A = this chain, B = another copy of it.
Amino acid sequence: MPIMTASDLEHFLETDFPQALHMGCKVLHVDNKSIEVQMETKDRHLRPGGTVSGPTMMELADCTMYLLLLAQIGPVALAVTTNLNISFLRKPTPGNLRACGTLLKKGKTLATGDILIYSGDQEEPVAQVTTTYSIPPKP
């Protein structure tokens, strides 16, 4: 079982991470190695033609990995991204995004996750992200 539940994570967003809340992120599910986060896309996330912008997907992926990690190690606000690699696979349709994250490694100082992003009703992922976070040493 993870240390933080979906509602613990949502509460943490409200108190400590207003940007993610502002993004419209909602934790649909979390367990000890995966997470599902939904993001409501708004006008400011769209490009001409109604497609969701690349930076919006990067922000969702970064937030998803952060929440997946916090769920395992508790509210360590100081965990920071060291690397993020994103491959854009298909044009997203307008509508909400959904990020499915899997924890590949939780080491003492580094954690790595794989995140697939889905758009609206499309069955195939619109982007794949691999990202590594650095975990600060316990004081």
Contacts and interface: CB of A to CB of B under 8 A. Distances in A.
Interface string A23-45: 00000000000000000000010
A114 B112 contact: no
Nearest to A114: B128
A138 B116 CA distance: 31
A86 B130 CA distance: 9
Interface string A111-130: 01010000000001100101
A54 interface: yes
A98 to B, nearest CB: 16
Interface in A64-118: 77, 80-91, 104-105, 109-110, 112, 114
A139 interface: no
A125 B109 contact: no
B85 A104 contact: no
A58 B58 CA distance: 8
A134 interface: yes
